Amino acid sequence: MRQVYWVGCLCGLLLFSATFQLSAAPVTFNTALPVSKGEGVMRVQAKYLRATGDPGSMNRELTVKALPIVGVWGATSRWTLFGIVPLLDKTMELDMPSGRTKRSVNGLGDVTAMVRYTAYSKDQAGRTFRIAPYAGIEMPTGEDDEQDALGQLPGPLQLGSGAWNPAVGIVTTAQSLKQEWGISTSYKFNNAANGFERGDEARLDLSYHRRVWMGGPADGLPHFLYVGLEGNGVWQGKDRNNGLDDSDSGGTTLYLAPTLQYITRRTVVESAVQLPVAQNLNGNALEQDFIFTLSLRLNY
């Protein structure tokens, strides 16, 4: 179950705008492309995750619906500020001695604040190359003591962690008029609260997008269609309950995600399907089926 927690929070980290025209950028992770001073981006994603690969005997089925709402502001030409507000709906179905049981929760998750600094940039006609470190803090705004008829929900099914969890990373992006690629590494430190501690998370993300169509509508501004492929390697440490490792949590997952992006001057409609092509999880940790993302970006 711990493998899916980041869906509600960190999967909202596509934070991109350009000075004149929005362009292709990663759907499943952050990018180093600029947000101009005094400009902003509003991004709303709808994410749907299914995980039904239960190696144990309880026949667990997990569904997560997430709506991360992201606000971005260019404070200066190099400093960019972010706020990420996730709305979550989690449902777990499993077999128990009393029969098939459903446990669910919905509401506000843990809000994240982030800052990114463009440490290196090289801009040429029709292309740019940028390197940007970033740091953030996940704040305990989501409820972490939700209960149902069976008692308190397990930690991974809660809306929030109850802890302040910092994250750091660095992202490199290169873009020309026809294509874009990016690479990102990050690490999130998860802390304990109320006897439960989620495992730390390390990520390595790659992306490539290419323009396959350009059209000119009646307003005279070009529209673009990009297709792409993204890869995400995610390592999750074991959860801890009252100081003891949970042997049925954590592990490593490798995703491949085909993407599609329709881009205008001020808006982007995009989608991605993350498919777990390799999962090396601990014990009876639940394996994922897919993550589907539909996203809208608005530049203002």
* Residue range 21-60, pLDDT digits in tens: 456 788 998 887 778 888 898 989 999 999 999 999 999 9
pLDDT of residue 265: 82
Beta bridge partners of 165: 138
**Per DSSP, which regions of the chain are E strands?**
40-51, 61-74, 79-96, 99-108, 112-117, 120-124, 127-138, 147-148, 151-152, 165-176, 179-188, 196-197, 201-215, 223-236, 240-241, 244-245, 251-263, 267-281, 290-299
pLDDT of residue 219: 58
- Residue 258's SS3 state is strand
pLDDT of residue 296: 95
Under 8 Å CB-to-CB from 232, ≥6 apart: which residues?
28, 29, 203, 204, 205, 253, 254, 255, 257, 274
Please state the φ and ψ torsions of residue 6, each to the nearest 5 degrees.
Answer: -65, -15
* 15 has a pLDDT exceeding 60: no
pLDDT per residue as tens digits for the range 92-123: 999 999 999 999 999 999 999 999 999 999 99
pLDDT category of residue 3 using cuts at 50, 70 and 90: very low
Mean pLDDT of the 5-27 span: 48
Mean pLDDT of the 141-160 span: 94
Q: Compute the distance between CA of residue 42 and CA of residue 299 in angstroms, rounded to an integer.
A: 7
pLDDT of residue 59: 96
- Residue 5's SS3 state is helix
Give the start-to-end residue ranges of the domains of the chain: 2-299
CATH 1.10.3720.10 assigned to 2-299: no
* 8 has a pLDDT exceeding 90: no
pLDDT per residue as tens digits for the range 213-270: 988 765 566 789 999 999 999 999 999 999 999 999 999 999 999 999 999 888 999 9
Greater pLDDT, 10 or 232: 232
* 125 has a pLDDT exceeding 90: no
pLDDT category of residue 1 using cuts at 50, 70 and 90: very low
pLDDT category of residue 188 using cuts at 50, 70 and 90: very high
CA quadruple 105, 111, 117, 121: dihedral sign: positive
pLDDT of residue 31: 84
* 172 has a pLDDT exceeding 70: yes
Displacement of CA 34 from its chain's centroid (Å): 19
